[in-house]
Every structure is written in C-alpha cells, then in structure tokens.
Amino acid sequence: MEAVQYKCPNCGGELKFKPDTQNFGCEYCFSEFTEQEVREINARNEENQDTSVNNANQAEQNEFNEHTNVYHCGSCGAEIISDENTSATFCYYCHEPVILSGRLSGEYRPKKVIGFQINRERAETIFKDWCWKKWFVPKNFKTTSQLEKMTGLYVPFWLADCDIKASYNAIGKKIRTWSSGNYRYTETKEYSIIRKADIKINKIPADGASKIEDALMEAIEPFRYDEAKDFSMSYLSGFYADKYDVSKAQIFPRIRQRAEKGCQSVISDSVIGYSSVIRTSENYNIINTDWEYALLPVWFMTYMHNGKTYSFALNGQTGKIAGTPPFDRLKCGIFCGITALVVTLITMLGGYFLW
C-alpha cells in the first residue's frame, strides 16, 4: 500500500499519526486532527488544485523579486526591502548604515497591501503631540534629527482565516430566593450548558517580523482590513518593507491563542441569564486556516538611550500610536526636587496659617 502523506491544513507541514490519541498531529504548529477530518480536508484540497493559478503566482513572484532591492544591515542583521527607485541609507532598527545586497529570492511577494493614509508630516505632528504630554522624555528625543529617523515601513503580516470546531460545557446555576411567613426560601436550579459550534474567524493578524515586538504591533491595531487592496509595486514607492522571517507554523500558536479568545467571547455571549457559570470543559480545534500575506503601513522609529533601544509605531492607516518613551532621570530628579520644595512651602504656609 502506498503511504499517503497528509499536509497540515493550518500550516502546510506534514501530519504524523499519533498512537496515543489515534489522531493526526502536526509537529510544526501542534494542530491535531481526527482521521475523518484529515480525509475531508484532503479531498477538498485535491479539488482546489489548479496548476494555472500556481504558474501565474510564480510569474508575479519573479516580477516582485526583480524590481525590489534588498539592503543588509551589518550591525543588527536586518534586511530592508525597497522598490528599485527608492534607496535605503540607514537601518531603521539600529540607525547604522546599510549596504545594497542584491535581489530577493524566495516567496515574499505579498498578496494584499493597505496603503499609507497618514503622510510623514501628519505622522510627525501626531508623534510630537504625543510626546508633548510626556514631560520626562529626554530633550533630543523630540528633535528634528530624531524625527528624520521615522520610517514609513510596510510590516509583513500574516492574516489568518480560521475554521474552528468549538465545544463548550459548563454548569449554570439559577438562584431564586423569596420569603413566606417566617421562612426564607432559596431555590437553586442547575443546568447543563452545552455548546457545539462551527465558528469562522476572519483576518486574525500576526506580524511576521521577528525584530518588531509583537505587543507593539498589537497596540496599534486595529487596521481596517476591508480597505486592503491587491498588491502592486507602486505602493512601495518611497517606502520600505520588511520581509517576513517568522513562518506560518511559527506564528500559529499566536493565531491559535487569538482564535480561542474570539471563540470564548462568541460563546460566552450566548450563555446568559445564569447567576453563576462554571466551565467544565472547552475545546477549540482549528481545522483549517487560509492565509494571506499582507503588508500593513506603519510609521516606525527606534531611539537609543542609555544602551537601551526604544521602539515606537504609528498605524499608517488610522494614526494610532504606541511605544514606551525613554525616561530622563535628571529631568525626573529636578521635578521631584521641585515637588518636594512646593510641598515644603505649602507645609510652611500651612504652619503660618495655623499660627
């Protein structure tokens, strides 16, 4: 009998039979499927196979690789993509000079893109307003030369559409109390709550750039994905892009976590009217994931202060900004000094008033 090799419907890795659970598991993204699920998915994928589509993709891929330049940062290892007419001089991660290292090879052409809607001028204004409220940041943090380091960067994102089989069991209690004569009655009714659902969650985002903190990218969400367009080279003009260095399988645990959260909120919205609910079991199994590789617009900036790098990001579509500003100890020291002085003065004044 010929051995059939099943592919993981979530990340494309090879599935292996697991004797302990009698299921098929993926070693790369840790998904697990029953035999029936694997057969169904396999049959569906065979139907969808179309070689002409693959050839067209390859042509587009080659075109993308031929018209982009890759710059390499010898200091931190970053690889910066630009269109062939936009040259990069410094690394937006570590501010060191970068050198042209040639053309891309591999599959990095994005399928979708959201173009920048916030221009540089607007981004700088938002950033300055945001800094203005933060008194303790060092002086040179807000200077023009620092603002020049702000880079219009297309960050690579994986957007996942997940099909999830959800099952949820809980015990719900409804408690009613009333009085009659000298007696007080409490009635407790227990319900077994069962939910089984097929849930589809679309466009779960996770950035594929390992050099950018996940939390920073999550902080500038959401993007309006309905405005995403098919990618064309013209979007890159004047901007830079990162290529992904985190694979679908590596990112899948993050997607799974967010998908589970989404399911939990859908299900808990349907469990209402109980005095208390105790979950006894819940299971959210992602049985298929459709991926889209997209570039999303971010104004990105790093700042080095006392040997530490601080990163800032501004959503290039909505203007939402995030980052932790550096802290100037000296300024804080002066501020604390002044506060102490004012407090002393007030106390003294208080003393005078008493007197």
Cβ atoms of 152 and 299 closer than 8 Å: yes
Using rule CB under 5 A, residue 8 touches Zn ion: yes
Q: Looking at 2-10, 107-115, 189-197, 256-264, which segment touches Zn ion (CB under 5 A)?
A: 2-10
Using rule CB under 5 A, residue 9 touches Zn ion: no
Q: Which residues within the stretch 47-86 sit at the binding site for Zn ion (CB under 5 A)?
A: 73, 75-76, 78
Closer by beta carbon to Zn ion, 113 or else 301 = 301
With a CB cutoff of 8 Å and minimum separation 6, the contacts of 103 are 65, 66, 68, 69, 70
To the nearest whole angstrom, how small is the minimum distance from the Cβ of residue 271 to Zn ion? 31
Using rule CB under 5 A, residue 289 touches Zn ion: no
To the nearest whole angstrom, how small is the minimum distance from the Cβ of residue 209 to Zn ion? 13
Nearest to 313 by CA among 226, 204, 212, 205: 212
Using rule CB under 5 A, residue 13 touches Zn ion: yes
To the nearest whole angstrom, how small is the minimum distance from the Cβ of residue 73 to Zn ion? 3
Largest CA distance in the chain: 102
Closer by beta carbon to Zn ion, 11 or else 241 = 11
Closer by beta carbon to Zn ion, 94 or else 147 = 94
Using rule CB under 5 A, residue 91 touches Zn ion: yes
Give the integer Cα–Cα distance in Å for 82 and 118.
19
Single-letter amino acid code for the residue at 188: T
Give the gyration radius of the chain's Cα atoms. Answer: 28
Single-letter amino acid code for the residue at 8: C
Using rule CB under 5 A, residue 347 touches Zn ion: no
Could you tell me the end-to-end alpha-carbon distance of the chain, in angstroms, rounded to an integer?
102
Give the integer Cα–Cα distance in Å for 270 and 277.
12
Which of 6, 24, 71, 93 binds Zn ion (CB under 5 A)? It is 93
Cβ atoms of 172 and 189 closer than 8 Å: no
Question: What kind and span of H or E run contains 255?
Answer: helix 248-270
Closer by beta carbon to Zn ion, 10 or else 315 = 10
Neighbours of 210 (CB within 10 A): 12
Q: Looking at 23-31, 128-136, 145-153, 259-267, which segment touches Zn ion (CB under 5 A)?
A: 23-31
Residues in the interface with Zn ion (CB under 5 A) total 15
Closer by beta carbon to Zn ion, 28 or else 244 = 28
Residue 99 to residues 107, 187, 260, 354, Cα–Cα distance (Å): 22, 76, 43, 72
To the nearest whole angstrom, how small is the minimum distance from the Cβ of residue 219 to Zn ion? 22
Which residues make up the interface to Zn ion (CB under 5 A)? 8, 10-11, 13, 26, 28-29, 31, 73, 75-76, 78, 91, 93-94
